[in-house]
Amino acid sequence: MDLEMQEALRSAAEFKARMNRLNVGLASLREHFKRVPVNDHTPVPIKRAHCHPVLGGVLYKDAKMDVPGPNFGVSSLRRAAKCGELETMWTGGNQLVTGAALRTWIAGQSTMKDKKSAVPTNDYVPPRQRTLHEKSLEDAAMDRAANAFAAIDKMMMKSKSQKKKGR
């Protein structure tokens, strides 16, 4: 190949690499603008709060695209708010929570776990769940017992009818 052709191939490769970097940058910029800008004092509806970045989730402008955090669900947040552990506010019939309130609640969760571990637990051990094999064995035993009772009942009926005929 001559030098002009090599130079053209090199510049085309550089141009392609720049375009790829630009496309990656644009994609990340698009992703950034799809997200909701959230800080510690931005109120978020409690039904979307489980996707808050404080809890490890991602909040998007479109609620259908929200990515929930791995640890807490909406029900645990509502339960904490109902118990008074999570500070919320009501605006126009919507229950809202801030990032600062979520941080405070999480900090309180860790201290509550420490307190719970310090308290001696009772020695109650829940009963072991039966396996399917054990259940099938028990069902078979119950069937055998029911058949035995039915056979005894049938014999008793037969003997009663023979006694009546013999009179």
* pTM attached to this predicted model: 0.50
Q: Which of 62, 88, 61 is closest to 74 using CA atoms?
A: 88
Boundaries of every domain in the chain: 32-116
Residue located via tokens 């028990």: 138
The percentage of residues in the chain with a pLDDT greater than 90, rounded to a whole number, is 22
Q: pLDDT value at position 146?
A: 93
pLDDT tens string 72-108: 888 999 999 998 898 999 988 889 999 899 989 988 8
pLDDT at site 112:
61
Lowest pLDDT segment from 30-39, 94-103, 156-165: 30-39
pLDDT band at 148 (very low <50, low <70, confident <90, very high): very high
Q: Count of CB atoms within 10 A of residue 164's CB?
A: 8
φ/ψ of 119, rounded to 5, equals -80, 130
Give the pLDDT band of residue 164 (cuts 50, 70, 90).
confident
Token readout for 20 is: 């790829």
What is the predicted pLDDT for the residue at 1?
A: 64
Residue 114 has pLDDT above 70, yes or no: no
Contact 63, 48 (CB under 8 A): yes
Of the pLDDT bands very low, low, confident and very high (cuts 50, 70, 90), residue 142 is very high
Which H or E element spans position 80?
helix 74-83
Position of tokens 């910029």?
29
Mean pLDDT confidence for 132-159: 90
Say if residues 98 and 41 touch (Cβ distance below 8 Å): yes
How many CB atoms neighbour CB 109 within 10 A? 16
Full DSSP string of 113-152: HHHHHHSPPP---PPPPPPHHHHHHHHHHHHHHHHHHHHH
Note whether 46 and 90 are within 8 A (CB).
no
